[in-house]
């Protein structure tokens, strides 16, 4: 396993190096008690392209990974991809490797270095206590991974999966480029547009969007409703990204204020105030209430 310590534009080591020097073991790092930063495991290109099927995260294969810190200029869409995928079974998302091979073929001619797949880049069950803690933090900050990576997907015939809808919405509503309309994503993109035109709740109910865990549903609904409100307001995508970064990283902040954008957000109350006008969304649950402790 290696660590990228220098962001683009810098020619010398940066704070992540010094943060990790405080860790005495992998478990020490996973608990993140010694690390004042969030780090993500990204698979290297060589590891991803050599697999026969998506490999489960393992502490025995750390050479397959690079550690990237959740800091500006470390995770870039030019270098990193986020893989959005369905789970074909409870025990493995892609048992026969069909989805993996599609991604490998699609990405092979492109220029990139690292890739993030939930199954491969977060500790999976059964998890030790340190692994559980790292899993929680990774899940909590997945929005930042989506916003800052390229987005790759291959979906089966349409199934109303809330996590997939959220991943697509997080990506397209926080960037200027959007996604090409292919048959497997077309309905999801239509539903994102419908959420903006009507409401999140109405769209989820109309198409019976499913989520395996109630805690996930509440959390993802809050994210979607906030994204939709921001989309409706007259603001640049850079401001939207700034706001969503604040929601991701300021976990314990009750109120977030953006004077230049004339906006205040109280996420635990589900209230956004813009130019003196109030907009309501599903309150964000406390993170300890969201995380699935006993999957």
Read off the pLDDT of residues 43-89 as tens digits, 9 standing for 90 and up.
Answer: 999 999 999 999 999 999 999 999 999 988 899 999 999 999 999 99
d(CA 86, CA 93): 7
Domain positions in the chain are: 1-154
Q: Is the pLDDT of residue 182 over 70?
A: yes
Total-model pTM: 0.92
d(CA 32, CA 29): 5
Residue 190: CB partners within 8 Å, gap ≥ 6? none
Mean pLDDT of all residues in 170-179:
94
For 198-216, b/e burial (b = at least 16 CB within 10 A) is eebeebbeebebebeeebb
Ramachandran assignment for 97, one of left (phi > 0), alpha (psi -120 to 50 degrees), beta (any other):
left
Residue 295 CB neighbours (<10 A) = 11
DSSP letters along 223-292, please?
A: HHHHHHHHHHSS--HHHHHHHHHHHHH-TT-S-EEEGGGTEEEETTTTEEEETTEEEE-PPPPPHHHHS-
Read off the pLDDT of residues 277-286 as tens digits, 9 standing for 90 and up.
Answer: 999 999 998 6
When pLDDT is cut at 50, 70 and 90, the band that residue 295 belongs to is: very low
Read off the pLDDT of residues 118-171 as tens digits, 9 standing for 90 and up.
Answer: 999 999 999 999 999 999 999 999 999 999 999 999 999 999 999 999 999 999
Q: Is the pLDDT of residue 293 over 50?
A: no
85 contacts 92 by C-beta, under 8 angstroms = no
Residue 52 gets which letter from DSSP? S
**Cα–Cα nearest to 249, from 174, 142, 165, 117:** 142
């Amino acid at each position: 396993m290696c660590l990228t310590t220098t962001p683009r534009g810098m020619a010398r080591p940066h704070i992540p190096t010094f943060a990790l020097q405080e860790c005495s073991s992998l478990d020490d790092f996973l608990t993140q008690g010694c690390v004042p930063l969030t780090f993500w495991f990204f698979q290297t290109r060589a590891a991803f392209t050599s697999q026969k099927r998506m490999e489960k995260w393992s502490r025995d294969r750390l050479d397959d990974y690079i550690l990237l810190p959740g800091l500006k200029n470390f995770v870039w869409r030019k270098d990193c991809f986020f893989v959005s995928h369905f789970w074909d079974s409870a025990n493995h998302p892609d048992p026969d490797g069909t989805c993996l091979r599609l991604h490998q073929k699609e990405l092979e001619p492109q220029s990139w270095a690292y890739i993030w797949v939930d199954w491969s880049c977060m500790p999976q069950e059964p998890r030790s206590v340190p692994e559980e803690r790292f899993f929680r933090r990774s899940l909590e900050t997945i929005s930042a991974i989506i916003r800052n990576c390229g987005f790759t997907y291959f979906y089966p015939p349409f199934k109303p999966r809330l996590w997939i809808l959220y991943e697509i919405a997080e990506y397209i509503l926080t960037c200027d480029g959007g996604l090409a309309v292919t048959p497997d994503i077309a309905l999801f993109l239509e539903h994102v547009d419908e959420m903006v035109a009507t409401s999140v709740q109405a769209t989820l109910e109309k198409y019976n969007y499913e989520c395996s865990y109630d805690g996930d549903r509440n959390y993802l609904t809050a994210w979607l409703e906030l994204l939709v409100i921001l989309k409706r307001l007259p603001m640049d995508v850079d401001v939207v990204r700034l706001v969503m970064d604040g929601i991701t990283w300021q976990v314990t902040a009750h109120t977030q204020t953006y004077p230049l954008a004339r906006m205040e957000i109280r996420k635990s109350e589900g209230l956004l105030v813009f130019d003196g006008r109030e907009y309501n969304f599903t309150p964000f649950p406390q993170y300890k209430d969201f995380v699935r402790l006993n999957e």
